[in-house]
Amino acid sequence: MNNESFLNGKRRRYSIRDFFYDLNGALTALMMIVNTVFWLPLILTAIIFKFIPSAYTKKIANTILNFLVTVWISVNSLILDLTKNIKWNISGLENLSMKNNYLVLSNHQAWSDIVVLQKLLNRKVPMLRFFIKQSLIWVPVLGLAWWALDYPFMKRHSKAEIAKKPHLAGRDIEATIKACEKYKTIPVSVMNFVEGSRFTEKKRIGKQSSYKNLLNPRPGGTGLVLTSMGDCLSDILNVTIKYGKNRRSFWGFLSGRVKEITVVVETIPVTDELKGDFYNDKEYRERFIKWLNALWQEKDLLLESI
């Protein structure tokens, strides 16, 4: 019986070429795992110093942790360069600074987006930090690492919970305000996938998206960051990612089937017009949603033209 694969959703015969692609992906994954296992004990050792109640000690621990994670990302990027033959079309990385605070907004094509962003922005902007669900702090090892690296944890509440206890609606704002206080002394790049989910044609149709290549942007998360961290941020990095020939799966990326990746970065200054109170100022909220939808319309046209 012939082996078969389901690449790109199409059934076809599994070839020798596919075997070498998958072998490449397995070796790449193995090298990245070895890289992680090598640095993890050092990261966990540095985390111990975060528990010492001394501002000076914590500052040293933060410096060491940032260095270790930066090197870990650099080695992963080197592994990709050695094992992949990808044509990178990159623009907009000029004039970025490790000393500035950024809000990074990106479309979301695949899990590989995170690896792509880490590779391109590493050592050019402060380390990317994602807003993480509060429950994930209990994930073994990773939860501790995210906490030590000052990732902001968010406890989401359902509409039903907020209806019963209206005061819960402000908890996320409180969490980001606390994060902002930390980031006044720690350069940061806050990462947000505005669509809230990876793009697929099925999702686009099901969610009745207004765009051809994107899902509708969800303004709440970005509005929350700008509301509580607007004074901490210097610029917004508007990132557009597109993979050649629509090969968007993470395994397609890891195995080398992705042959071309285009990334366009636009730097948008955080002006007073972009600052406001998303939850309590109706006029600002409507203006911000209009601005975000216009940004997404431009991104959709850009993806169409690439």
* CB atoms closer than 10 angstroms to residue 28: 20
Question: Bridge partners of 267?
Answer: 237
C-alpha 276: how far from chain center:
24
Q: What is the pLDDT of residue 142?
A: 75
Inter-residue contact 276 to 227 (CB < 8 Å): yes
Structural domain that includes position 257 = 87-305
Would 183 be classed as within a structural domain?
Answer: yes
Would 123 be classed as within a structural domain?
Answer: yes
What residue spans of 154-218 are helical by DSSP H? 159-164, 171-183, 201-206
Q: What is the pLDDT of residue 3?
A: 40
| 153 membership: H or E segment, kind and range | strand 153-154
At residue 237, what is the residue type? Answer: L
Token pair belonging to 137: 């702090």
Token pair belonging to 5: 């694969």
Token pair belonging to 7: 């690449």
Would 166 be classed as within a structural domain?
Answer: yes
Would 4 be classed as within a structural domain?
Answer: no
Would 255 be classed as within a structural domain?
Answer: yes
Q: How far apart are CA 175 and CA 154, in angstroms?
A: 7
Q: What is the pLDDT along the chain (306 residues), one digit of tens a residue?
A: 444 344 444 566 889 999 999 999 999 999 999 999 999 899 989 989 888 888 889 889 889 999 999 999 999 999 999 999 999 999 999 999 998 999 999 999 998 999 999 999 999 999 998 877 777 778 777 788 888 888 877 665 555 655 566 655 566 667 666 766 677 677 889 998 999 889 999 999 999 999 999 999 999 888 888 887 888 899 999 999 999 875 678 999 999 999 999 999 999 999 999 999 888 899 999 999 999 999 999 999 999 998
Would 216 be classed as within a structural domain?
Answer: yes
φ, ψ of residue 262 to 5 degrees: the values are: -110, 130
Count up the domains in the chain and report the number. Answer: 1
Inter-residue contact 105 to 240 (CB < 8 Å): no
Would 25 be classed as within a structural domain?
Answer: no
Q: How far apart are CA 94 and CA 266, in angstroms?
A: 10
Q: What is the pLDDT of residue 138?
A: 81
Three-state secondary-structure class, residue 1:
coil
Inter-residue contact 225 to 269 (CB < 8 Å): no
Residues 6 or more apart whose CB falls under 8 angstroms from that of 234 comprise 100, 101, 102, 269, 270
The burial of 229, by beta-carbon neighbours within 10 Å (0-12 exposed, 13-18 middle, 19 or more buried), is given as buried
What residue spans of 6-151 are helical by DSSP H? 16-48, 55-83, 112-121, 142-148
Q: What is the pLDDT of residue 231?
A: 84
Query: What DSSP state is assigned to residue 165?
Result: -
Would 59 be classed as within a structural domain?
Answer: no
Domain of 133, CATH number, reads: 3.40.1130
Residues 6 or more apart whose CB falls under 8 angstroms from that of 3 comprise 13, 14
